[in-house]
A and B are shown apart, each in its own frame.
Chain A
Amino acid sequence: MRKKNIYFLLLLLVVLITGLVLSLDFRPRARLFPMIVILSCGVLVLIELLRTWRSAPHPEGEENAEAEQEKRRRFFITTGWLVGFALTIWFFGLAAGMPLFILAYLKTHGESWLWTIVLPVAMFVLVYFGFGILLETPLYEGWLFLQYQ
């Protein structure tokens, strides 16, 4: 946790410095609030960074390290699914992409066919009939289907 916090704070510092450099190009009235916030936040981030740096690292046992590794693996898999989700709805659109994502996720995780069919169908009904037809929301059709229009 300590290491992760240090990396996060260093990343924040980079973001804040970038923000500060960008703010310098704004007109005085437009940069007043952002600069006050960036400078105050920068000071607090530095204090937190120093505090975290000085704090003693937790002695990590082998079990903890293994659990941590497993957690990290799962996080990367989940990130993959989220990226996949974004790509699916971009490629297939909302009405087709969302049920497809649910179907793929449930089948990959060994769910029964009952749920694997019921949930995607329910999602299709909600998106297409609920939002598309009833609420007349202009649904994004997806890159694939837009090519054929």
Chain B
Amino acid sequence: MTDSIIQGLSVLFQPAIMVGMFFAILGGLIFGLLPGLSGLTFMAIFIPFTWGMDPFLAMTILVAAYAVSCTGGSVTAVLVNVPGTPANAATVLDGFPLTQQGHAGRALGAALFASASGGVLGTLVLALLIPAVTPIVMAFGSPESFFLIFMGLSFIAVVGQESKLKGSISGLLGLLVAFIGYHDGTGVARFTFGTSFLLDGVKIVPCALAVFAVPEMINLLITGRTIVEERTVVQAPFADIWEGMKDVYRHWWLHLRATALGVFVGIVPGVGGDVAVWVAYGHAKTTAKHPETFGFGNIEGVIAPESANNGKEGGAMLPTLALGIPGSAGMAVLLGAFLIQGLQPGPTFLVEHMDMAWTIIGVLVVANIVGAAICLVIAPQLIKVTRMRGQLLAPFLLCIIALGAYSYRNSLDDVFLMLVLSFLGWTMRQLGYSRPGFFLGYVLGGLAERYFGISALAHGWKFFLTPISLVIIAITIFSISFQPIADYLKRRKA
């Protein structure tokens, strides 16, 4: 074991690996910054080039780029309200208001430091849990996955700053959008209006851009102003960034909880990082001292999702390496890369290639730290974009957003669908409906229906009577009722 650890980690000091990792980190950050592209796209593009490459170098490049894409995505989410990857969608809720208040540096500092630290902690959990992963993953069947998703759905009404009624309507609308397309269980085409384009459903990238990014561009086009009001005093960038980093330390308990949630959701195959960030955000809001400030620039609303979205990679890597079960689309592509290299992830992998597992662990740690450090160094320059006039910025960003929607499936229909949906996003923004609630419903709707269907077919109506399901139900009830009960007790005391 010790030999494998030393052998695996020593690979990281080879010049070729170091150079490869550095360029992969840069690539991953750029792919994360551009909406529509992600670490997954980087891996898909780069995999053909790994043919015949040294397996350690190939895996280092792929894992490093994949690990930092969410870090890159958080920069655009904070600065211009455009989530670079779907896993950054929750970051815009409080990150962008902080930027508008002149605290872009603080939001970036917190997001990047939480990302790096969450990624490192998630990886440490990966290292510790490798021996225990089989029983954990095997304990999660479809009923447990359904209740995990149900826990996420329980936050629909509270993720936005709007009234609970409007939040619930928004969430249910999101669920309805998630049902567009083929039904998994029966193959029935639902709400497609006879078009073949909608048979695959509304895809996540155009939807995320339509709900969060385009309405903000419409606003910039209408007002023509800068993102940060001209009269707003902007703090010295480095001091502000340092303040943001200290915020993560101040909220270390939230950071740990959100990272743990990210790792936990990451481990469960088929749920994915897009769910992890919303569960973390909802949890942060329901347990915060001042939940009413969420959505208006509460730094906790930046720390929680950013801790979770990098923490999840460690978790997702566990079932992939130890069982050969990819927990997400990114992990499925990575699994393909392993097979190209002649490596077969699964129970025997950790016996035969323990050194490779430790190299991957080392890459995850280094990539997260270096990725965040690169972003922190260039952050003061990036912040200047918030001072550009909306008239200049908005048409350029609109094109980049459209390019992101297009490149997801190379389909112009996705761009048109995004533009149509963006009017719904704009209306919701103007009338005070919850866009986060809508998006949460959309992300979880299809998964909830799928796992409910499988659970009901496999276990009958008693499917919720498993120990893990009951624990998740209890946590859900606790999360929802914690704040109202605490408020009630406070009022009674007063």
Contacts and interface: CB of A to CB of B under 8 A. Distances in A.
A and B: interacting chains = yes
Interface of A: 1, 4-5, 8, 12, 19, 22-23, 26-27, 29-30, 33-34, 37-38, 40-41, 44-45, 47-48, 51, 71, 74-75, 78-79, 81-82, 85-86, 89-90, 94, 98, 101-102, 105-106, 109, 111, 115, 119, 122-123, 126-127, 131, 135-138, 140
Contacts of B395: 101-102, 105-106, 119
Contacts of A22: 190-191
B165 A47 contact: yes
Nearest to B430: A4
A45 B403 contact: no
B439 interface: no
A131 B367 CA distance: 25
Contacts of A123: 396, 399
Nearest to A90: B412
A78 B179 contact: no
B186 A8 contact: no
B431 A138 contact: no
Given A37-B176, A82-B218, 10 more contacts: A26-B186, A30-B186, A40-B172, A48-B169, A71-B222, A82-B419, A89-B402, A98-B403, A101-B395, A140-B410
Nearest to A28: B186
Interface of B: 45, 165-166, 168-169, 172-173, 175-176, 179, 183, 185-186, 188, 190-191, 218, 221-222, 224, 391-392, 395-396, 398-400, 402-403, 406-407, 410, 412, 415-416, 419, 422-423, 427, 430-431, 445, 448-449, 452-453
A131 B172 CA distance: 36
A113 to B, nearest CB: 13
A79 B186 CA distance: 39
B433 to A, nearest CB: 8
Nearest to B187: A30
A122 B399 CA distance: 11
A4 B406 CA distance: 32
Closest 9 CB pairs of A and B: A41-B172, A30-B188, A30-B183, A98-B399, A105-B395, A78-B221, A33-B449, A74-B222, A30-B186
Nearest to B433: A8
B431 A27 contact: no
Contacts of A90: 412
B399 A86 contact: no
Contacts of B403: 94, 98, 126-127, 131
A105 B478 CA distance: 52
Contacts of B179: 33-34, 37
Nearest to B214: A82
A33 B191 contact: no
5 contacts: A22-B191, A27-B188, A33-B175, A33-B449, A78-B218
A29 B399 contact: no
B416 A86 contact: yes
Nearest to A122: B396
A34 B178 CA distance: 10
Nearest to A123: B399
Nearest to A74: B222
B407 A131 contact: yes
A86 B395 CA distance: 12
A29 B453 CA distance: 8
Contact of B176 (A19, A105, A138): A19
B416 A27 contact: no
Contacts of B412: 89-90, 140
Nearest to A83: B419
Contacts of B45: 135-136
A137 B41 CA distance: 11
Given A19-B191, A26-B188, A27-B188, A45 B169 contact: yes
Contacts of B172: 37, 40-41, 44
Given A29-B453, A78-B222, A86-B415, A138 B410 contact: yes
A19 B179 CA distance: 11
Contacts of A30: 183, 185-186, 188, 190
B193 to A, nearest CB: 9
A115 B392 contact: yes
A43 B314 CA distance: 42
B419 A86 contact: yes
A4 B165 contact: no
Given A34-B176, A37-B176, A85 B398 contact: yes
A29 B415 contact: no
Contacts of A140: 406, 410, 412
Contacts of B431: 1, 4-5, 8
